Amino acid sequence: MVAQAKKWRGIFNFCLRLMQLFSDQKTDYSNLVIKLGMYFQVRDDYCNICKPKALQECSPDTNENSGDFYDDLTESKFTLPIIHATKTLKRDAVLNILKQKTNDLTLKQYCVSLLEQAGSLQYTRDLLTKLDSELRDEIKKFGGNPPLEAVLDDLLTWRDT
């Protein structure tokens, strides 16, 4: 998760610096960029787990399309919810599932239930809410930006999962 967050932060920072090369605007937006990169990555981690459409399309009998649901688990990625869960009593069970790189829908659903029981999904939702608020505060600090605020509004779809 940390490497992924750094990747997003690096991409956003690169874009910012590139735009500033061709502008007289030299305001330090680094805090905004750091938070935006973190928000994108945490949101991606959460949505990968909680995509209801992908889950509904999976056939429980055949595990058909189960790769569309929680593919970060299949890829054995240490996402924020997994990292959080490793600090709880659910640690061993979650790590055992992660090691399997499974496509099994039932096992993926079980892992999601473990993450919920461990408070890891709630922790992730709370962090997303906090980051959204902090990003909006940063935008206000710079005098507002309706298009960027609209992007943040569109990104709130994670709440619907």
- For 22, the 3-state DSSP assignment is coil
* Residue the block writes with tokens 């640690």: 91
| Domain span including residue 88 | 2-160
Per-residue pLDDT, 10: 74
H or E segment and range at residue 104: none
Mean pLDDT by 10 residues, the chain (161 residues): 60 74 80 90 91 49 59 93 96 96 94 96 97 97 94 92 69
Secondary structure (DSSP) of 66-80: GGGSSHHHHTT---H
Distance of alpha carbon 105 from alpha carbon 119, whole angstroms: 21
Number of structural domains (the chain) is 1
Per-residue pLDDT, 67: 53
Which residue, 4, 11, 10, is CA-closest to 46?
4
Enter the pTM of the model. Answer: 0.81
The stretches of 22-119 forming alpha helices (DSSP H) are: 30-49, 52-57, 71-74, 80-85, 91-100, 105-117
Per-residue pLDDT, 58: 45
Here the CATH number for the domain that contains residue 100 is 1.10.600.10
Distance of alpha carbon 16 from alpha carbon 7, whole angstroms: 14
Per-residue pLDDT, 5: 53
Phi, psi of 159 (to 5 degrees): -65, -25
